[in-house]
Amino acid sequence: MGRIEILGKLEKFFKKHLLLKEECQVVYLLVEIRKILDRDSNKRYPILRFYCDWSVHTEKDKITGEMEKIMEDIYHDIEVQIHNPALASSKTRIIGFMYMEDLQTEMKNFLCEYGLPQSLAIDKNNWLAFVKLLVKILADQPINNPCNDIETFAFLPASEGCVYGRIDFTKKIGIYNYYNFGNAY
């Protein structure tokens, strides 16, 4: 099946599913997007590609440079928060990662480039519905060794409307071996 046929399938999919309501819809969307990225040898969306891969693997061991940088930033923010709380920013990289802001940017650009409806990435309610479902899919599917200082990053099963996770460090930060994160929508 070629790119044009896959795009046709996605156009039909978006006409039926303006708001994603089931995990299987998110997985289908990401698998079809990955097919397009592969067919076009498109390297412009490394974070989108990472999530496409992550959604269908029980563990993620292959780490892209972009994801490694994000995880290094997350680690740095946690380190500052633990060692120098007064210097910690209220807008940390982990919060942006929980809401999948980088993914949202790449998803919007991808949908625009391929002439697909962008409401998923533009409308706040649509995006939050997508994130909630994707976090459920990714729960207990850790990213292993995403950077030198993090052993595992994992979203954990959580109540409806919540995101929780755990980051295990390769070495302690102060007295901490790990960091739990979470937030409600």
Range of the domain at 130: 3-184
Of 138 and 42, more confident = 138
Q: What is the pTM of this model?
A: 0.91
| Residue 12 banded pLDDT, cuts 50, 70, 90 | very high
Per the DSSP assignment, residues forming a β-bridge with 182 are 164
pLDDT at 172 over 90: yes
Alpha-carbon distance of 144 to 169, in angstroms, equals 11
Percent of the chain whose pLDDT exceeds 70: 96
Number of domains in the chain: 1
Q: What is the mean pLDDT of the chain?
A: 92
- Residue 90 pLDDT grade (very low, low, confident, very high; cuts 50, 70, 90): low
User: Does pLDDT of 108 surpass 80?
Assistant: yes
Q: Render pLDDT for 30-82 as a digit per residue (tens, 0 to 9).
A: 999 999 999 988 789 999 999 999 999 999 999 999 999 999 999 999 999 88
Question: What pLDDT shows up at residue 184?
Answer: 60
- Report the pLDDT averaged over residues 131-159: 95
Rounded average pLDDT over 81-93: 78
Query: What angle in degrees, to the nearest 10, is found between the helix axes of 65-83 and 46-54?
Result: 90
| Predicted local distance difference test score (pLDDT) of residue 86 | 78
DSSP letter string over 60-84? B----HHHHHHHHHHHHHHHHHHH-
